[in-house]
A and B are shown apart, each in its own frame.
Chain A
Amino acid sequence: MHFLYLKNNYSLFSFLLIPLLCLWNPIWLSVMGVQPYWPIFWLLPWAILNGPTNGLIIGFIIGVILDSINNDIYTQVPGLLVCGFWFGKLDKLENRYQYGLVASLGSFICGFIYFFQVMLNNYHKNPDWLFSFALKNIFGQILLTGLFAPVLSIALYGLFRNKFKRNPF
């Protein structure tokens, strides 16, 4: 009974893991201290199966939760909204490499939007200082997200597929 409940709610339980992973930040999975962008791994298969509208909503929800964890003046919501909508527009991806590529692009979108906010807030200081740090963060995240997505996102897609049917809207 409990197992069936778990099986029917894979998406919910795996969703709850996102903030925990963001808090945990295993250092052995980092490159130059940069971690993969964890929400993308979950959002990509979920939005593919549930469509752009649901992707947009769940992107917003994840963004709000992550903002509350980081308690920063910048927000991750816009990047995740764009990614949720875009991933929802995609049909089933053909192979592992496409998962890696799409996840990398999603990570780039989120990283760039976040960096744009940092720049806007720091334009009166010396923004040149921020470029090297931003490049390191964005490309570190792209690399790691693209590397792990073919494994993690495909595994999650397999789990979610049994529960959801494609919603074209």
Chain B
Amino acid sequence: MNKLRRITSYRWWNNKNLWFLFIFLLLIISIRFSKSLIYRDIYYFLSKPFWPGQFQREILLKSHDKELNIKLKQLEKDNLRLRSLLSLKRTTDDFKIDSSVISRNTGSWWRKIILNKGAKNGVKIGDAVVGPGGLIGLIDDVSMLTSSVKLLTSTESQVGAWVQRINIHGLLQGVGSDSPKLIFYARDIDIKVGDLILSSPASTLLPPNIPIGIIESIDQDLRSTTIANVQLLAKPQAIDWVQILKTKI
């Protein structure tokens, strides 16, 4: 009986184990060269159900807030100390008086509002008044129980203002309309529509860095001044509650 002999020869590609090893090595190399990006993405989905809860995140955020508050208080302290050395105006949260508007005259000749806090509550002439958004005016008259605020839009109002982006000072002049003028006594100033206007950090009349308004248009005239129309952030015609900032030197 002839035994059938199978004639075969060894071919390495027929070895399944080798193929398996080859693919495995390829995978490892791809993971290595891709810096395990795919692996991490896969891990992202796999580990998702086991992530730390929102509670821990809140604790982290709170601790971050506390850290920032400590830094802020430290900076405020430094700032107050330096301002007192320079004899500039300063204000802190301890010197704020909440007050409501009891009379309003914002669109006529007399641009004033009357507040329900007066000399009895420690309000003094020259104190700054801020509403939601920013500065609205200065106290110009005080009775025992009330105080009158001269609005920034009044023709008699003139305060120093500061353009934050380019660190330049100007004079904010009320002209009776809802948009006061910001006057720079120089030409070719790099102011742009949308620039934020703050109270001057070097002012001896106002507390520093209170937002006032935004430049809405710029007039270039032939004289040696640049004039910008300012849109106020706080609208006195719509404000019912304000804060009186007691300033200290």
Binding site for B on A (CB under 8 A): 23-25, 27, 30, 32-35, 70-74, 111, 114, 118, 121-122, 125-126, 129-130, 132-134, 137, 140-141
Contacts and interface: CB of A to CB of B under 8 A. Distances in A.
B156 A73 contact: yes
A122 B155 contact: yes
Contacts of A71: 140-141, 148
Contacts of A27: 104, 237
B184 interface: no
Contacts of A32: 107
A127 to B, nearest CB: 10
A25 B103 contact: yes
Contacts, number: 56
Interface in B92-112: 103-110, 112
Contacts of B148: 71
A35 B108 CA distance: 7
A37 B162 CA distance: 38
B152 interface: no
B155 to A, nearest CB: 6
A128 to B, nearest CB: 10
Interface string B208-242: 00000000000000000001000000000100000
A22 to B, nearest CB: 8
A34 B181 CA distance: 21
Nearest to B148: A71
B110 A132 contact: no
B131 interface: no
B205 interface: no
A126 B225 CA distance: 12
A25 B175 contact: no
A130 B155 CA distance: 8
29 contacts: A24-B103, A25-B104, A32-B107, A33-B106, A33-B107, A33-B108, A33-B237, A34-B107, A34-B108, A70-B112, A71-B140, A71-B148, A72-B110, A74-B109, A111-B109, A114-B109, A118-B109, A121-B155, A126-B181, A129-B175, A129-B177, A129-B181, A132-B177, A133-B175, A133-B176, A133-B177, A137-B109, A140-B108, A141-B108
